[in-house]
Amino acid sequence: MELRQLASFLAVVEEGQFARAATRLFLSPPAVTGHIQRLERELGVQLLERSPIALTPAGERLVPHARTMLAAANAASDAVTDLHTDSPLPLRVGVMAPGSAELTPAILRAFRKAQPQTPISVESLSFAEHTTALTEHRVDVAFVRPPPDDERLRVDVLTTEPRVLIVPSANPVGDAESVRLTDVLDLPFVGLPKGAPRVFTDYLYFACARNGMPPRCGVDQAQTIQDVLTSVSAGRGTGAALYSFSRLYHWPGIRFVPVLDAPWEQSALATRRNDPRPEVRAFRTLAATLARDLGPKLAAASELAQPPAVLEL
């Protein structure tokens, strides 16, 4: 299986015609046809119906893997392009836990495979470091929520999810199957540090429904999601999160309750807009590829009518 065969296969899938795929790849139509025929022979299955162009079940299964393999190859190419040193600088990855749910470890694993020569350090980010860790050059890429509103940063949205309330199990709200924003606004929320940016406080406290009124905050201040969970489990406040948290955190004394009419929110990968490093570009490319290919699984897991799903990423 060759990369040019996979590139021809994806080009035909995305363009819908052999001729347009050939133009896109600067090849002749017979060359593109030959690539796909050899790929089908090697795999022993038909990937495309020819008249009209349509994916077979085997072709549908190959598409996400082909995209990931090409993205990894491009990342590897970027790693050696403009290389000025035999000891590449580490790529510093900031994660405001849990990042972008199951995508976070999947992206890190894919990058390690694509660029094993690039050292990676993973650093935990507090709520106050939503943007400052990047703007102060302490990390190179950051998994955060919601997407930062800062012109110095470039943002790639990775997940879009419903919202949940994090409440003590003993709280009457904890017995509800779901709530609405009118049930949420008067609850005492866990506080945030002064350095938390406005976009994050608006996200946490459902500012879109408060008409400018501030939230009622408890005595605790949380720097991380672990602080929120600790405070809530002790009955000292209420928190809010994305729906994926209900799959990822199992703490005694808390419940995750869907907020049915809250706007869906996003998690994102943020980088400095002017960062020239090819490793950063490669990381963004892999993140976007995996978000596109694995996104449907995450979306299915966020269906409120279904029990939490176990994803195989």
Q: What is the DSSP string of 131-198?
A: THHHHTTS-SEEEESS----TTEEEEEEEEE-EEEEEETTSGGGG-S-B-HHHHTTSEEEE--TTS-H
Q: Give the pLDDT of residue 250.
A: 87
Q: What is the pLDDT of residues 225-243, one digit of tens each?
A: 999 999 999 999 999 999 9
Of 15 and 231, the structure prediction assigns the larger pLDDT to 231
Given a contact cutoff of 8 angstroms between Cβ atoms, the answer to whether 108 and 120 are in contact is yes
Does the pLDDT at position 308 exceed 60?
no
Reported CATH class of domain 163-263: alpha beta
Q: Do domains 3-80 and 91-160+266-301 have the same CATH topology?
A: no
Reported CATH class of domain 3-80: mainly alpha
Sorted by where each begins, the domain ranges of the chain are 3-80, 91-160+266-301, 163-263
Nearest to 283 by CA among 106, 101, 107, 66: 107
Q: Following CA atoms 160, 161, 163, 164 in sequence, which dihedral angle do they give, to the nearest 10 degrees?
A: -140
pTM for the complete prediction? 0.70
Banded pLDDT at 193 (limits 50, 70, 90) = confident
Least confident of 88-92, 123-127, 147-151, 266-270: 88-92
Calpha distance 23→273 (Å, rounded): 32
Q: What is the pLDDT of residues 59-77, one digit of tens each?
A: 899 988 888 888 877 776 6
Banded pLDDT at 311 (limits 50, 70, 90) = very low
CATH of 91-160+266-301 among 3.40.50.1370, 3.20.20.10, 1.10.260.40, 3.40.190.10 = 3.40.190.10
Mean pLDDT for all residues in the chain: 87
Calpha distance 222→210 (Å, rounded): 21
- 267: Cβ–Cβ under 8 A, 6 or more apart, which residues? 99, 100, 101, 143, 144, 145, 146, 157, 158, 159, 161, 242
DSSP letter at 219 equals: E
Amino acid identity, residue 171? N
Does the pLDDT at position 172 exceed 90?
no
Q: What is the pLDDT of residues 106-140, one digit of tens each?
A: 999 999 999 999 999 999 999 999 999 999 999 99
Calpha distance 48→33 (Å, rounded): 11
Does the pLDDT at position 306 exceed 50?
no
Banded pLDDT at 310 (limits 50, 70, 90) = very low
Q: Give the pLDDT of residue 132.
A: 92
CA distances from 285 to 25, 66, 156, 223, 224 (A): 19, 14, 10, 30, 28
Give the Cβ contact number of residue 90 at 10 Å: 12
Calpha distance 102→202 (Å, rounded): 25
Q: What are phi and psi of 284, to 5 degrees?
A: -65, -40
Nearest to 224 by CA among 247, 199, 256, 190: 190
Q: What is the pLDDT of residues 44-59, one digit of tens each?
A: 999 998 888 889 999 8
